[in-house]
Amino acid sequence: MAVDREQRLWDWERTAQPYLLVASLLFLTSYAVRVLVPGLSPGWETWWELVTIVSWGIFVAEYLARLAFSSDRRRFLRTRWLDLIVTVLPLLRPLRIIDMHERMRRRRNHPQLVLEARVMVYTGVTSLLLGFAASLAVYHDERTAPGANIHSFGDSVWWACSTLTTTGYGDATPVTSRGRVVAVALMFVGVALVGAVVGSFSSWLLRRFRQDGET
Amino acid sequence: MAVDREQRLWDWERTAQPYLLVASLLFLTSYAVRVLVPGLSPGWETWWELVTIVSWGIFVAEYLARLAFSSDRRRFLRTRWLDLIVTVLPLLRPLRIIDMHERMRRRRNHPQLVLEARVMVYTGVTSLLLGFAASLAVYHDERTAPGANIHSFGDSVWWACSTLTTTGYGDATPVTSRGRVVAVALMFVGVALVGAVVGSFSSWLLRRFRQDGET
Amino acid sequence: MAVDREQRLWDWERTAQPYLLVASLLFLTSYAVRVLVPGLSPGWETWWELVTIVSWGIFVAEYLARLAFSSDRRRFLRTRWLDLIVTVLPLLRPLRIIDMHERMRRRRNHPQLVLEARVMVYTGVTSLLLGFAASLAVYHDERTAPGANIHSFGDSVWWACSTLTTTGYGDATPVTSRGRVVAVALMFVGVALVGAVVGSFSSWLLRRFRQDGET
Amino acid sequence: MAVDREQRLWDWERTAQPYLLVASLLFLTSYAVRVLVPGLSPGWETWWELVTIVSWGIFVAEYLARLAFSSDRRRFLRTRWLDLIVTVLPLLRPLRIIDMHERMRRRRNHPQLVLEARVMVYTGVTSLLLGFAASLAVYHDERTAPGANIHSFGDSVWWACSTLTTTGYGDATPVTSRGRVVAVALMFVGVALVGAVVGSFSSWLLRRFRQDGET
């Protein structure tokens, strides 16, 4: 019985995946438009706000549905904690990519890329999307703050790049509390990015040695 | 005889551990309250100072007791040098976590987390606690310094995060000597944090390869 | 038939390699002279511009010739994407070194350096050349920009070094859009540089252990 | 005959080592005193200058003697290039530690520390000494430079620490050409320091796994 419900949960997640991906893109697009396009007419303003709210609503509804559907709710909360985070903060949804693909991979039998290449691709895509989301969020908070040194979206992207690579020039930094919370999150993403690049390099080197040693 | 004393030292350390943990939390709390709460009434001021001094006293007493109790004092000083450091500078006590758990693990037969996960959890907790302690210490020294750019505890936390990830924006940096000594210590903690993240990544990648190669 | 064409493509690439290297050096030299030498007489100005254009023309012609010559054009575009990038942006040509040597190595049977040493040498040379190219490009864009803090080529080299090592002092940073795009590229080169250094270190350590274990 | 000369070269190096170490310490001390002690009387000034020159002279003489003594001079220049660098720039002499110890180790049969511990100790000591030497050199150049932001030796040490950990706050940075050359060298030492910490971590993690797998 529980196994059956678990199976139906899997089926549901497989079916819902593409729709959630579309909702994610709609959420990011509507947020980006509202932050980046100045002087939006009231009609369009309302429209894009609606898109933001509806796509967010879809995330919440889907999460609650899965929670209700689950045979063991405590286990669901514990093993799917990433789902809860990305439901509350949809800008972090790019983090789902890793999780999503892992579970996909186990069911279908896709031909695999080399593990290091896959880690690099995931890290690259996740960094790109989170960097973009962080640039949007910081620009949104900073552009009207007094004493801010991030005045345009270009400044915000520049700041995000220098943070992700842990370079940290400091010529453009957030000054508001919310901007700084986003910045701290992005710094740790940056440490993970460096970690993935370095780890892949050292793993690749060692495997090459082993192969050379065998032949 | 020496073995017996060694055994009694182990027993003592096992018994004392939870009390020392409580004393650590009291020390950190009292230090935090004295630094962060402005306009403390003289009565409370004295009370929290007392808590700081008493908890510090407990650390010193416990260390001296163990030293006196030890069968081979020179060996005790050499192998437990971390204990001496955290007794003199109780804000560094979070470093004990690693040491403490290692010794615990050897005696009991706990089911183990994967080693990388354990390294990440230790590093995360230690970084969090040391970052918090450093923020407190720097805020304590900097808030009244002339020409300082750390004016609030928020600035201090922001500085600590940008230091721990080796980003180093430089928009908030200590200017006093004591603040800079704390900062230098935190920078090296940051290098170790990056090292732990990167090392875990590369070790995980290599183990995955070996497993894939075997199956 | 296809094998024969493939073989002739290999032969062609082997023959063209030294000429392309000379063209690369001419391109970099002419670009450097035009950026760094102030008050060039119109005659020399035209001459060096001609060198730049002709060497660029050689890259484009050679790429198109190989594309036309290829038995499977789609595969050529997919597997030689680095060639396309360095043809469009000749300042990135140092990246070819890695690719070039790898293919060389497979055909001839050179006595090999240790893999880590080779990785370090490649990374060093590539970082040096890309750092130099980035310094030139940023100096070219920034020297006339209002509000710039990179006034001399020395400032530009200083900025490039602090970026490549992910130190990021921030006392000299690009302010123009094109300069910042170059900077972002260099930051990621810097992360890769750190990755190569770290990866080589950890791989070397592990091999030493294995050797010690065997003897 | 050549073997015999090689043997005598080894013997000589073993005998000379402690004297060179004393000369290194004298060089560093005399340089430090001349940079750090303000208002030195002319007599002492001359005395310490003499110590600097004599210790430098010892390095040069010893290098030339070994070169003259060597059976194959070209091979000597190629394999002992580090000796040439530290003879020309005695402040880099701490780099000799690694080389020196390696050769010592091969001849005597010392009980060994774990390789990672040894790497960490070397890296720590080398970083400390090079950081100190760089602080001296930068302070020497910067204290009289117009527009400098390194005014005291404390500022210089603070700058050196933020550079070695690749944090790079940028609140104290060299502005003179010679100071910046020293800084660039120290940045690359910093990358190597991070590399050694990270590499040791990842190597230690992997060995622990292998040991756990075996038992």
Q: What is the pLDDT of residues B153-164, one digit of tens each?
A: 999 999 999 999
Q: Give the burial class of D139: count Cβ atoms within 10 A of its Cβ; 0-12 exposed, 13-18 middle, 19 or more buried.
A: buried
Q: What's the confidence (pLDDT) of residue B163?
A: 93
pLDDT confidence band for B100 (50 / 70 / 90): low
Q: Which two tokens stand for residue A36?
A: 């980046």
Q: For residue B183, give how far its alpha carbon lies from the nearest alpha carbon of chain A (Å).
A: 16
Helix (H) or strand (E) holding D1: none
CA-angle at A132, arms to A127 and A134, nearest 5°? 90
Residue C112 CB coordination number (10 Å): 10
Chain A's closest residue to C195, CA to CA, is A198
pLDDT digits (tens, 9 = 90+) for B17-66: 778 888 888 898 999 998 898 888 888 989 999 999 999 999 899 888 88
Q: Quick one: how far is CA B129 from the chain centroid?
A: 6
Question: Could you give the C-alpha distances from C2 to B93, B215, C67, C73, in angstroms and in order?
Answer: 69, 37, 14, 12
Phi-psi region of C149 (alpha: psi -120 to 50; beta: other; left: phi over 0): alpha
pLDDT confidence band for A215 (50 / 70 / 90): very low
Instruction: Kindly state the DSSP code that residue D165 receives in the 8-state scheme.
Output: T
Kindly determine whether residue D169 and residue A170, on different chains, have CB atoms separated by under 8 Å.
yes
Taking contacts as CB-CB distances below 8 angstroms, the residues of chain B near D196 are none
Q: Label residues C131-161 b or e (16+ Cβ within 10 Å = b).
A: bbbbbbbbbbbbbeeeebebeebebbbbbbb
Kindly determine whether residue B194 and residue A190, on different chains, have CB atoms separated by under 8 Å.
no
Among C113, C198, C210, C211, the residue to mutate for chain A (most A Cβ within 10 A)? C198
Q: What is the largest CA-CA distance in chain D?
A: 69
Chain D's closest residue to A202, CA to CA, is D199
Helix (H) or strand (E) holding C66: helix C42-69
Amino acid occupying residue B158? W
Taking contacts as CB-CB distances below 8 angstroms, the residues of chain D near B131 are none
Q: With a cut of 70, say whether residue B103 has pLDDT above it.
A: no
Q: Of B30-39, C32-41, C48-57, give the range with the top mean pLDDT.
A: C48-57
Kindly give, in sequence order, each residue whose CB lies less than 8 Å from that of residue C80, ignoring residues fewer than 6 positions away.
C66
Taking contacts as CB-CB distances below 8 angstroms, the residues of chain C near D163 are 167
Listed residue (D153, D195, A121) closest to C191, CA to CA = D195
SS (H, E, C) chain B: CHHHHHHHHHHHHHHHHHHHHHHHHHHHHHHHHHHHCCCCCHHHHHHHHHHHHHHHHHHHHHHHHHHHHCCCHHHHHHHCHHHHHHHHCHHHHHHHHHHHHHHHHHHCCCCCCCHHHHHHHHHHHHHHHHHHHHHHHHHHHHCCCCCCCCCCHHHHHHHHHHHHCCCCCCCCCCCCHHHHHHHHHHHHHHHHHHHHHHHHHHHHHHHHHHHHHHC
Residue B12 CB coordination number (10 Å): 14
Q: With a cut of 50, say whether residue B87 has pLDDT above it.
A: yes
Contacts 24+ apart (CB under 8 A), C108-113: none
Q: With a cut of 50, say whether residue A156 has pLDDT above it.
A: yes
In this prediction, the residues of chain D whose per-residue pLDDT falls under 50 are 111, 215
**Least reliable range by pLDDT among B36-40, B191-195, C118-122, D35-39:** C118-122
Chain D's closest residue to A203, CA to CA, is D202
Listed residue (A118, A123, A98) closest to A192, CA to CA = A123
Q: What count of CB pairs under 8 Å joins B to C?
A: 11
Select the residue of C187, C199, C200 nearest A162 (Cβ to Cβ): C187
Chain C neighbors (3+ CB pairs < 8 Å):
A, B, D
pLDDT digits (tens, 9 = 90+) for B62-85: 888 888 877 778 888 877 777 888
Instruction: Give me the helices (H) in chain D, please.
Output: 2-36, 42-69, 73-79, 81-88, 96-107, 115-142, 153-164, 177-214
Chain D's closest residue to B167, CA to CA, is D167
Q: For residue A206, give how far its alpha carbon lies from the nearest alpha carbon of chain D (Å).
A: 11
Q: With contact defined as beta carbons under 8 Å apart, do D199 and D163 qualify? A: no
**CA dihedral sign of residues C185, C191, C194, C196:** negative
Kindly give, in sequence order, each residue whose CB lies less than 8 Å from that of residue B26, ignoring residues fewer than 6 positions away.
B51, B54, B55
Please compute the mean of the pLDDT values over residues B199-207 and round it to a whole number.
79
Instruction: Kindly state the DSSP code that residue D108 receives in the 8-state scheme.
Output: S
Q: Which two tokens stand for residue D96?
A: 């000799």
Taking contacts as CB-CB distances below 8 angstroms, the residues of chain A near B204 are 199
Q: With contact defined as beta carbons under 8 Å apart, do B200 and D209 qualify? A: no
Q: With a cut of 90, say whether residue A3 has pLDDT above it.
A: no
Question: Could you identify the residue written with the tokens 């170490």?
Answer: D21
Which one has a higher pLDDT value, D174 or A212? D174
Taking contacts as CB-CB distances below 8 angstroms, the residues of chain B near A198 are 198, 201-202
Q: For residue C198, give how far its alpha carbon lies from the nearest alpha carbon of chain B (Å).
A: 9
Q: What percent of chain A has pLDDT over 90?
A: 26
Select the residue of A166, A168, A202 nearest C198 (Cβ to Cβ): A202
Which one has a higher pLDDT value, B207 or A159? A159
Report the SS3 class of residue D167: coil
Q: What percent of chain B has pLDDT over 70?
A: 87
Q: CA-CA distance, C119 to A137, in Å (whole number)? A: 39
Q: With a cut of 90, say whether residue A94 has pLDDT above it.
A: no
CA-angle at C89, arms to C84 and C91, nearest 5°? 125
Q: For residue D105, give how far its alpha carbon lies from the nearest alpha carbon of chain C (Å).
A: 14
Kindly determine whether residue A202 and residue C207, on different chains, have CB atoms separated by under 8 Å.
no
Kindly determine whether residue A168 and residue C173, on different chains, have CB atoms separated by under 8 Å.
no
**Least reliable range by pLDDT among A96-110, C54-68, D88-102, D113-127:** A96-110
Please compute the mean of the pLDDT values over residues A178-206 and round it to a whole number.
86
Q: For residue D95, give how far its alpha carbon lies from the nearest alpha carbon of chain C (Å).
A: 17
Interface of A with D (CB under 8 A): 166-170, 198-199, 202
Number of helical (H) and strand (E) elements in chain A, helices listed first: 8, 0
Report the SS3 class of residue A81: helix
Please compute the mean of the pLDDT values over residues B197-201 and round it to a whole number.
81
pLDDT confidence band for A105 (50 / 70 / 90): low
Amino acid occupying residue B26? L
Chain B neighbors (3+ CB pairs < 8 Å):
A, C, D
Taking contacts as CB-CB distances below 8 angstroms, the residues of chain B near A202 are 202
Taking contacts as CB-CB distances below 8 angstroms, the residues of chain B near C202 are 199, 202
Question: Could you identify the residue written with the tokens 């008050």?
Answer: C39
Q: CA-CA distance, D155 to D148, in Å (whole number)? A: 11
Taking contacts as CB-CB distances below 8 angstroms, the residues of chain A near D170 are 169-170
Listed residue (B69, B135, B65, B62) closest to B96, CA to CA = B62
Number of helical (H) and strand (E) elements in chain C, helices listed first: 8, 0
**Least reliable range by pLDDT among B171-180, C44-53, C85-94, D202-211:** D202-211
Please compute, for residue B65, the number of CA atoms within 13 A of its CA located in the half-sphere on the CB side.
11
Select the residue of C165, C200, C206 nearest D203 (Cβ to Cβ): C206
Kindly determine whether residue A177 and residue B200, on different chains, have CB atoms separated by under 8 Å.
no
Which one has a higher pLDDT value, D138 or B195? D138
Taking contacts as CB-CB distances below 8 angstroms, the residues of chain D near C161 are 183-184, 187
Kindly determine whether residue D184 and residue C154, on different chains, have CB atoms separated by under 8 Å.
no
Q: What's the confidence (pLDDT) of residue A120?
A: 80
Q: Where are the domains of chain C?
A: 1-96, 112-215
Among D167, D186, D214, the residue to mutate for chain B (most B Cβ within 10 A)? D167
Residue C58 CB coordination number (10 Å): 19
Listed residue (C64, C71, C94, C73) closest to C82, CA to CA = C94
Q: What's the confidence (pLDDT) of residue B106?
A: 54
Kindly determine whether residue B199 and residue D194, on different chains, have CB atoms separated by under 8 Å.
no
Kindly determine whether residue B163 and residue D158, on different chains, have CB atoms separated by under 8 Å.
no
Interface of B with A (CB under 8 A): 154, 158, 161-162, 165-171, 193-194, 197-206, 208-209, 212
pLDDT digits (tens, 9 = 90+) for C165-191: 999 898 889 999 999 999 999 999 898
Q: With contact defined as beta carbons under 8 Å apart, do C8 and C69 qualify? A: yes
Q: Give the burial class of C16: count Cβ atoms within 10 A of its Cβ; 0-12 exposed, 13-18 middle, 19 or more buried.
A: middle
Kindly give, in sequence order, each residue whose CB lies less than 8 Å from that of residue C152, ignoring residues fewer than 6 positions away.
C139
Which one has a higher pLDDT value, B143 or C198? B143
Select the residue of B166, B167, B198 nearest C198 (Cβ to Cβ): B198
Taking contacts as CB-CB distances below 8 angstroms, the residues of chain A near C119 are 205
Q: With a cut of 60, say whether residue A162 has pLDDT above it.
A: yes
Kindly compute the dihedral angle of the four CA atoms of residues D6, D7, D12, D13, in this order, to the nearest 10 degrees: 70
Q: What's the confidence (pLDDT) of residue D99?
A: 58
Please compute the mean of the pLDDT values over residues B184-200 and round it to a whole number.
87
Kindly determine whether residue B173 and residue D171, on different chains, have CB atoms separated by under 8 Å.
yes
pLDDT digits (tens, 9 = 90+) for A44-56: 989 999 999 999 9
Q: Which two tokens stand for residue C142?
A: 């920034």
Q: With contact defined as beta carbons under 8 Å apart, do B99 and B63 qualify? A: no
Q: With a cut of 60, say whether residue C126 has pLDDT above it.
A: yes
Instruction: Kindly state the DSSP code that residue C167 receives in the 8-state scheme.
Output: -
CATH 1.10.287.70 fits C112-215, yes or no: yes
Which one has a higher pLDDT value, D99 or C65? C65
Angle separating helix axes D2-36 and D42-69, nearest 10 degrees: 160
Complex ipTM tops 0.90: no
Q: For residue B199, give how far its alpha carbon lies from the nearest alpha carbon of chain D (Å).
A: 4
Kindly determine whether residue C184 and residue A208, on different chains, have CB atoms separated by under 8 Å.
no
Phi-psi region of A112 (alpha: psi -120 to 50; beta: other; left: phi over 0): beta
Amino acid occupying residue A188? F
Q: For residue C6, give how far its alpha carbon lies from the nearest alpha carbon of chain B (Å).
A: 33
Which one has a higher pLDDT value, D72 or C32? C32
Q: With contact defined as beta carbons under 8 Å apart, do B183 and D182 qualify? A: no
Amino acid occupying residue D64? L
Kindly determine whether residue C162 and residue D200, on different chains, have CB atoms separated by under 8 Å.
no
Among A191, A193, A194, A197, the residue to mutate for chain B (most B Cβ within 10 A)? A191
Kindly give, in sequence order, each residue whose CB lies less than 8 Å from that of residue B195, ignoring residues fewer than 6 positions away.
D194, D197, D198, D200, D201
Question: Could you identify the residue written with the tokens 């290692």?
Answer: B102
Chain C's closest residue to B194, CA to CA, is C198
Kindly determine whether residue C208 and residue D116, on different chains, have CB atoms separated by under 8 Å.
no
Taking contacts as CB-CB distances below 8 angstroms, the residues of chain B near A181 are none
Q: Which two tokens stand for residue A160?
A: 């995000």
Please compute the mean of the pLDDT values over residues C198-203 and round it to a whole number.
80
Listed residue (A130, A133, A131, A127) closest to A35, CA to CA = A133
Q: With contact defined as beta carbons under 8 Å apart, do C152 and C136 qualify? A: no
Q: CA-CA distance, C193 to A166, in Å (whole number)? A: 13
Q: What is the mean pLDDT of chain B?
A: 82
Q: What's the confidence (pLDDT) of residue B158?
A: 94
Q: Give the burial class of B175: count Cβ atoms within 10 A of its Cβ; 0-12 exposed, 13-18 middle, 19 or more buried.
A: middle
Chain D neighbors (3+ CB pairs < 8 Å):
A, B, C
Residue B10 CB coordination number (10 Å): 12
**Least reliable range by pLDDT among C9-13, C40-44, C132-136:** C9-13
pLDDT confidence band for B215 (50 / 70 / 90): very low
Which one has a higher pLDDT value, A181 or A116? A181
Q: With contact defined as beta carbons under 8 Å apart, do A187 and A130 qualify? A: no
Select the residue of D177, D191, D196 nearest C165 (Cβ to Cβ): D191
Taking contacts as CB-CB distances below 8 angstroms, the residues of chain C near D148 are none
